[in-house]
Amino acid sequence: MSENKTDYILRVEDIHKTYGDAEVLKGVSFNVRKGDTIVFIGPSGTGKSTLLRCINQLTVPDSGRVWLHDEEVTNSGKKINRFRQKIGMVFQNFYLFDHLTAIKNVEIALIKVKGMSPEAAREKALYELRQVGMEDFADHYPAELSGGQAQRVSIARALAMEPDVILFDEPTSALDPELTREVLEVMRKLALEGMTMLVVTHEMGFARSVATEIVFMESGVIQEIGTPAEVFGDGGGFERIRSFMGKIGDLSGD
Amino acid sequence: MDETAQFIDFCINILFPALADGLMITVLLVLITAPFGIAFGVLLAVGRVYGKSYGNWICRLFVGFVKGCPLMLLLFILYFGLPTVPYVGVTFDAFTASIIGFICCNSAYNSEYVRGAIISVKEGQLIAASALGMTKRQAIMYIVLPQALRRAIPGLSNEFIYLIKYSSLAYMITLVELTGAGKIVFTKYFEPGVFFVVGIVYLALVTVTTVGANALEKKYAVPGTQKR
Ligand SMILES: Nc1ncnc2c1ncn2[C@@H]1O[C@H](COP(=O)(O)OP(=O)(O)OP(=O)(O)O)[C@@H](O)[C@H]1O
Ligand SMILES: [Mg+2]
């Protein structure tokens, strides 16, 4: 199979990041094809969040490069805001805009960043809320939503920008199992529809059924990468992923 | 005629007409100062929280200077002092000098409230805005300030109430506002009741402000967020 550079929608090249004297990312590289769902797992504090944030430059890496299609995202100066429209992000704590209703949360960037008319933005926002099953809550404020509902709105907010890829940083870690299920359902549907997604999660059921690849990170580097079939199959290798999954399996009781 | 009737007669014929003119000036001072005081207060706060190098320093310096200077002294400087400065000397009438002094004072203190409110907006709000491709300026305008200003309403209304009261300092630079008008009537008629009446007028102004501020706070309260 020809590994032409342009096969990849997103390329991450040798990212390094140090906080103080702690080297959090020690050279991380990987490539993402359109429609891929890459699941990142690994112990706490190994730099998974930092890695995602380096991709859209919320955190500026010390060195290394990120490419979206054939354009460099790193070192892009003011142009970064255009890349960020193309790289959606969903956070563990939702970060919905507290003073805006669900629909206004989705609309605001469409109007202010994309320059859409309020009418067009409203229509688009309603459509995206429908996609995540939240159209009935369009006029609710974040404080009036459950965690699962808030997270689905935040996914709609990311989707509305029509991003090429969405980064999910532990999107269900703040949720009860019941609410986790409704959010994972939405994400599963997105993956099936061909959205390109990078997902940090400990939901192994999701990883197993949805991931194109599972990436195991530890101590600031990628330790192992494999498809769910490889990782969950009975072939050799992947000891570290399996041992890690064993541990979190014990914790979650399944 | 008994004393009460006499006093009422005095109020209607002499005191009220005099106070009306003074009240007019006080209300004008407050209503002109407040919008600028709030606008500059917000700018100063944004400058202090997000400003880089020069902008940041200018805002800090300004607030530090105003807070460190008695308002009466500031008014004296504006009214009596500035005209005597060689070359750059400017002369303000008492009303303009008062307005400038009050705007300085009001905006400096307003900026403290707004700054505190900006800082209290959760970091995630700005992160989410950036992740959507908003510029820093957009994120501040559309996400941070709408939240911060809601929280600043009690502080800003407090400052508005102070403004109503310290606007009486304008009398120190010859502007006959409400307190001054009362003082003039008192000097002429030696009727101490004058000051009680003036006090009641201030109380009315403050009460109206408080009611208005509460209504504003209620109107802009975000549903679902329980206050207090
Ligand atoms: N802004 C920051 N300043 C200093 N240190 C930081 C900062 N952000 C992250 N770190 C440190 O970097 C390390 C990696 O953090 P990161 O959040 O990327 O880990 P993670 O893999 O996402 O962990 P978790 O599973 O707990 O979310 C941690 O030790 C953390 O303390
Ligand atoms: Mg993390």
Under DSSP, is residue A141 helix (H, G, I), strand (E, B) or coil? coil
Residue nearest to atom 10 of ligand 1 (CA): A19
pLDDT surpassing 60 at residue B178 = yes
Owner of token pair 């195991």: A216
Interface test with B, best of A57, A80, A98 (most B CBs within 10 A): A98
Q: For residue A173, report the distance from its CA to the centre of ligand 2, in Å.
A: 10
Percentage, residues of chain A above pLDDT 90: 87
Query: Looking at beta carbons, which residues of chain A come within 8 Å of B133?
Result: 81-85, 109, 113, 161
Angle at A31 (CA atoms; ends A29, A35), nearest 5 degrees: 150
> Percent of chain A, pLDDT > 70?
95
Please check the confidence at residue A187 and state whether its pLDDT lies above 70: yes
B132 contacts in A (CB within 8 Å)?
Answer: 84-85, 109, 113, 157-158, 161
How far the first Cα of chain B sits from its last, in Å, is: 54
Interchain CB distance below 8 Å, A112 and B130: no
Interval B143-172 mean pLDDT:
96
- Cα–Cα distance between A125 and A109 in angstroms, integer? 10
Q: Which ligand is nearest to the CA of A215?
A: 1
pLDDT surpassing 60 at residue B2: yes
ipTM of the complex: 0.93
Q: Which of A24, A57, A199 to mutate to test the pocket of ligand 1 (most atoms within 8 A of CB)?
A: A24
Widest CA span in chain A: 56
The verdict on a CB contact (< 8 Å) between A81 and B135 is yes
d(CA B145, CA B42): 9
For residue range A189-199, list pLDDT tens digits in order.
Answer: 999 999 999 99
β-partners of residue A199 are A39, A168
Position A1 scores a pLDDT of 44
> What is the spatial distance between Cα B180 and Cα B195, in angstroms, rounded to a whole number?
10
Query: Which chain B residue lies closest to A95 (C-alpha atoms)?
Result: B124
Facing B125 at nearest CB: one of A97, A113, A140? A97
- For B180, phi then psi, to 5°, come to -60, -45
Query: Which residue's C-alpha comes closest to atom 8 of ligand 1?
Result: A50
Task: Specify whether the CB–CB gap between B104 and B34 falls below 8 A.
Answer: no
> Is any Cβ of chain B less than 8 angstroms from the Cβ of A108?
yes
Nearest to B155 by CA among B110, B123, B125: B110
Q: Hey, are the CB atoms on B128 and A95 less than 8 Å from each other?
A: yes
Q: Where are the domains of chain B?
A: 3-220
- pTM for this entry: 0.91
Take atom 12 of ligand 1 and give the residue whose Cα is closest: A24
Tell me which residues of chain B have a C-beta less than 8 Å from any C-beta of chain A.
122, 124-125, 127-135, 138, 142-143, 146-147, 150, 222-225
Query: Ligand 1 atom closest to Cα of A217?
Result: 21
Asked if A113 lies within 8 A of B138 by C-beta distance, the reply is yes
Helix (H) or strand (E) holding A87: strand A87-90
Tens-digit pLDDT profile for residues A59-102 = 999 999 999 998 999 999 999 999 999 999 999 999 999 999 99
User: What integer pLDDT is reported at residue A250 of this predicted model?
Assistant: 53
pLDDT band at B226 (very low <50, low <70, confident <90, very high): low
DSSP annotation of A74: T
B98 SS3 class: helix
- Check A143 against B225: CB less than 8 A apart: yes
What pLDDT does A243 receive? 87
CB atoms within 10 A of CB B75: 26
Q: Which residue has the tokens 């000097």?
A: B187
Ligand number with the minimum distance to the CA of A51 = 1
pLDDT tops 90 at residue A41: yes
The residue contributing the CA closest to ligand 1 atom 18 is A47
Please give the pLDDT value at position A254.
46
Check pLDDT > 90 for residue B161.
Answer: yes
Confidence (pLDDT) at A253: 40
**Does pLDDT of A235 surpass 50?**
yes
* DSSP-assigned states of every residue in A213-229: EEEEEETTEEEEEE-HH
What does pLDDT average to over chain A? 93
> Closest chain B residue to A109 measured between Cα atoms?
B132
C-alpha distance from residue B94 to each of B28, B31, B72, B89, B176 (Å): 13, 16, 13, 15, 9
Q: Does residue B209 surpass a pLDDT of 70? A: yes
Q: How many CB atoms lie within 10 A of CB A118?
A: 10
**pLDDT number for residue A7:** 81
- Measured between CB atoms, does A99 come within 8 Å of chain B? yes
pLDDT value at A177 more than 50: yes
pLDDT in the model for residue A251: 52
Q: B58: burial class by Cβ within 10 Å (0-12, 13-18, 19+)?
A: middle
Chain-centroid distance, C-alpha A42: 15
For B74, the token pair is: 């500031």
Give percent above pLDDT 70 in chain B. Answer: 98
The predicted pLDDT at position A97 comes to 98
A215 to chain B, closest Cα gap in Å: 23
Q: Between B128, B135, B224, which is nearest A97 by CB?
A: B128
Which residues in B lie closer than 8 A to residue A140 (C-beta atoms)?
224
Task: Give the pLDDT confidence of A16-35 residue by residue, as tens digits.
Answer: 999 999 999 999 999 999 99
Q: Which residues 28-87 on chain A approach chain B with CB closer than 8 angstroms?
A: 56, 58, 81-85, 87
Cβ contacts of A83 on chain B, cutoff 8 Å:
133
**Helices within chain B (DSSP H only):** 3-10, 16-50, 53-68, 71-76, 94-120, 123-131, 136-138, 145-166, 178-189, 193-219
Q: In the prediction, which pLDDT does B83 show?
A: 86
Give the model's confidence band at B217: pLDDT under 50 very low, under 70 low, under 90 confident, else very high: very high
pLDDT above 60 (res B227): no
pLDDT bin (cut points 50, 70, 90) of residue A240 is confident
Q: Taking residues B10-28, report their average pLDDT.
A: 94
Whether residues B225 and A88 touch (CB distance < 8 A) is answered with no
Mean pLDDT of A181-191: 96
Residue nearest to atom 2 of ligand 1 (CA): A19
Could you tell me which CATH number the domain at B3-220 has? 1.10.3720.10
**Ligand with smallest separation from the Cα of A19:** 1
**Average pLDDT of chain B?**
94
Is residue A213 helix, strand or coil?
strand
Tens of pLDDT, residues B76-86 = 999 999 888 88
Residues with CB under 6 A from ligand 1: A 19, 22, 24, 44-50
> Does the pLDDT of residue A252 top 80, yes or no?
no
